[in-house]
Structure 1
Amino acid sequence: MAVWALGINHTTAPLDLRGRFAFAIDQVEPTLHALRGALTRVPEAALISTCNRTEIYCAGEQSQLEPTLTWLAQCGGVPAELLRAHSYTLNDGLAARHAFRVASGLDSMVLGEPQILGQIKDAVRAAEAAGALGTTLSQLFQRSFAVAKEVRTSTEIGAHSISMAAAAVRLAGQLFEDLCEVRVLFVGAGEMIDLCATHFAAKNPKSIAIANRTLSRGEELANKFGAEVMRLADLPERLHEFDAVISCTASTLPLIGLGSVERALKRRRHRPMFMVDLAVPRDIEIEVKALEDVYLYTVDDLASVVQTAQANRQAAVAQAEAIVDAGVQSFLHWIEQRSTVPLIQQLNSQADEWRVNEIARARKLLAKGEDVETVLEALSKGLTQKILHGAMAELRGGDSHSRERASAAVQHFFLRKER
């Protein structure tokens, strides 16, 4: 059984390229169906897509990395060579090790951040719903969850972690003297916006508003923070009211354009605006970044902020990596054992057939009134003869080389002393 992985992340690919391969959770199932249909022998498959990475994991009789890369490039509308230049491809143990490191937060922009584990679990559930997850990938991900839990509980890898949400608050605090006087708008109502709103709400801003395509979801989040809820359609006319705008939606096109921001700045008399675009693809047109009174940050721009706490956790990295390595060795051992399962099943089936036949013969003898001791003796001899028949035939027949091999095998399997 082969396992392979293909991915791009914040260290290998620019934001705009990652945006071409961003999949909302409701797109995972049809995407997996398309992928498996494009590959031979329909492998197991799972797709992980976050703001910082898109990764495909597969398992099958033989690795199909190249066809997987070709399919993904076509899916994103880019040449295969371009994707290859910005991606990583991994087989077997290296693929497992990468999965375990990702789940443990060792491969994240924020070292030790826990959010990725929840995202992987969502991806696994989506793969299960699509019928794309088999025994091998199920084992891979269940073991990755166990490794992540051990890393989290046994090391200090997650201590002092600065999340994207906390980084956004820190940057806003550098721009505004008092966050209590800031009006904040959140665009979207997903998990990342929930996290950001939680961090900003702790600073008691002057007001909070939630703009979301689905009003009911926006109201649910707004009630949590005592915030105002508004429709996305009202965003262009009300953008000028807000000092800080944090956006993270699953939109495939920008929601906030250059023109709307320019008009908002004019109405604000060029008072500065703080904007954070955590979406992949972008929610805010990149041209906005060039405006003099706008401070726009993307997920990649936040990298330097979230790195500031890295030094405090580096001592725990070696310990975490050791846990990951142990998990990988255990998984590879499980893979190797699975190759003998069919033979074990055949051996058990043959032995069971012999057992059933000898018991049936013994029952017939007992029904005829034969002595119990005699019947038991015959049963034991019958089973012994059937078990040893193949070995005896090999020892008596064939050439000298075959007999030597048979002799070594018989001594190994039948003449070992019990320890």
Structure 2
Amino acid sequence: MSNATFSVVCYKSKTLANGEHPLMLRVCKDGKKIYRSLGISVNPKHWSFSKNAPKASCPNREQILKIIIAKQAELQSRVLILNSEQKEYTASTLLKSQSDKFTLKTVGEFYTELIEEYARSERCGNRLIYKGSYNSLKVFNKGKLDIPFSHIDAEWLSKYEKWLRSKGNKETTISLLFRTLRSAYNKAIQAKCARKSDYPFDDYKINKFDTSTQKRAIAKTDILEIKECQPTESKRLYMELSRDIFMFSYLCGGINFTDIANLTAENIINGRLSYVRQKTGKRITIGLCDEANVILSKYENGTNGYLFPILDMGVHKTAQQKQNRIHKILVKVNANLKYLANQLGIEANLTTYVARHSFASVLKKSGTSIAIISEALGHSDLTTTQIYLDSFDNEQIDNAMKNLL
């Protein structure tokens, strides 16, 4: 059977009360033509019948073109999906599918819309995660994602996994990419852009990816070495700041880099650090020890509105600008921490995240209640950690943190 062709025509056979002709979607397949109204009309003097398009003189030309392009793209996507699923259709059933509850979309279309929505709502972290997933899938699928979600079955997922491993991706990276893809699939089903009956993750389990084997914490003796060292490498930008950020995170409940970057004077209340964690939306309130206050005092002048010289309120105004800046500085900070670990003979891949794990590990070894520091801090789901920390009063947490140094 041949593919359908479609165009928008000015339907001269019918004249409306306002003297205009309705614009009709014309679908041709197997010698049959079906017409469907677009719900808009145009004065014939503003329509080019040879080009089947509004003339440049048409008053609402841009709006009409936008509607035409969107409808044609919608039909083209539907034809692509039907062809990929090797399903037969007629001009009539093709149009009928547009009026039912489902508007099936390709993987590329849905991902693009999802990423754009995260960008509009300034949820930059989510946008970055789904953008990374989109780019990975696109490279794997030879540069194109004009495939329906039904194309992604257990066999396809298995091939994707083997491809990721062949590229040297670590287990944690593979796990993140698969969890993101599964999340996108679920969102597509919820939005009625994919069918639940095609869902592949009931058969292809992704909890097989082992992400619990990495040991990121370092010993208390290593922490003390980092605390006492005096970085002198003047050519390495942000060297001392890198050390201070690591120690501040360790001393302040494992606060992560993004939250550190966004701290202002308003986050210091009666000698305590109080902030809303961006990842979870949970408020964290924790006592500031003397060592943490010493670090803060080093940067109290000239930090452009923030406690640490990472962001600048006069420069980084949008969520995207902040994210780009934080990512740029984090790369430099982690590179400096790796250099510092090498200089001190610390056998660990030292990053700001190690401070978070070390905070939990050192307190655990000191006999602090696991419930207070939360065993979950060492796992991939760190949201649980914040829920646990929130459930204990400030005095309990402060007493536990006396064991840090």
TM-score normalised by length of structure 2: 0.28
Which fold has the larger relative contact order, with Cα–Cα distance below 8 Å and residues 6 or more apart in sequence?
1
Q: Report the structure, 1 or 2, having the larger helix content.
A: 1
